[in-house]
Amino acid sequence: MKFSRMLLTATLITVISSTSAFAASSLEATGLPKPNVTQQQKNECEKGHCTEKKKRDCEEKLKDPIEMLQRKKQKVQELYDGGKITKEEADELIKKIDAKIREIQEFNSLPLDKKKERLIARFKEKVESKVKEGKLTKREADELIKKFTERIKEWDGKGYPGCKSGKYRGKGLFRKKK
């Protein structure tokens, strides 16, 4: 009995170690096409702002937001067709998605300087609300605004400004430092 356990354990270890040697370690090794990423976004990741996992997340999230919303719309329709949500719920969700698509299209039609102004203004509003809630100090907020403004000034107007990997498509700017 003891011998069979040892043999089974040795076999299991051998199998696990040999399969991990053949696993694809990156997106390039899988042969999958890489999404379009602007030069500025590549530079962000090359500067060391992103780990390997963050780079993969970054590439996934840098896909066209309108395309992603269209996919969400299809999923809502599938949920409705499958009977998992009601027609009213589906219509409400599709209405919200369509509004977001229009908002993105309107934003994309703006000149670059207006885009930058709008992004900075929105970010300042969010940071100031975090200060009012007591989640950030005024000093931390000023530092975040400064970093975000610098990143936006470097932005070329294509894709997302910088490597995004946070929960809300952010760079983790609100995350507490350890």
Grade residue 34 by pLDDT with cuts at 50, 70 and 90. very low
- 32 φ, ψ (degrees, to nearest 5): -75, 145
> How far apart are alpha carbons 123 and 146 in whole angstroms?
11
Under the banding of pLDDT at 50, 70 and 90, the label for residue 64 is: confident
Residues 6+ apart with CB under 8 A from 72: 97
Q: What is the mean pLDDT of residues 35-44?
A: 54
**AA identity, residue 47:** K
> For position 31, what pLDDT does the model report?
46
Query: How distant, in Å, are the alpha carbons of 106, 113, 134, 142 from that of 131?
Result: 30, 27, 5, 10
- Tell me what pLDDT residue 27 has: 44
pLDDT digits (tens, 9 = 90+) for 93-137: 999 999 999 998 998 898 999 999 999 999 999 999 999 999 999
The residue written with tokens 């949920």 in the block is 79
Torsion on CA atoms 144, 147, 153, 155, rounded to nearest 10: -100
- High-pLDDT (> 70) share of the chain, %: 53
Check pLDDT > 50 for residue 169.
no
The rounded mean pLDDT for the chain is 74
- Nearby residues of 120 by Cβ (< 8 Å), 6 or more positions away: 145, 148, 149, 152
Beta strands in the chain (DSSP E): none
The band of 157, judged by pLDDT with boundaries at 50, 70 and 90, is confident
pLDDT over 80 (residue 159)? no
Question: Looking at this protein, which amino acid is placed at residue 15?
Answer: V
Parse the chain into domains and list their residue ranges.
36-154
Average pLDDT over residues 71-80: 93
Angle between helices 87-108 and 65-81 (to 10 degrees): 170
Contact 87, 94 (CB under 8 A): no
Q: Distance between CA 142 and CA 163 in Å, rounded?
A: 21
pLDDT computed for residue 26 by the predictor: 42
Cα gap 53→25, rounded to integer Å: 11
* Local confidence band at 68 (pLDDT 50, 70, 90 cut-offs): confident
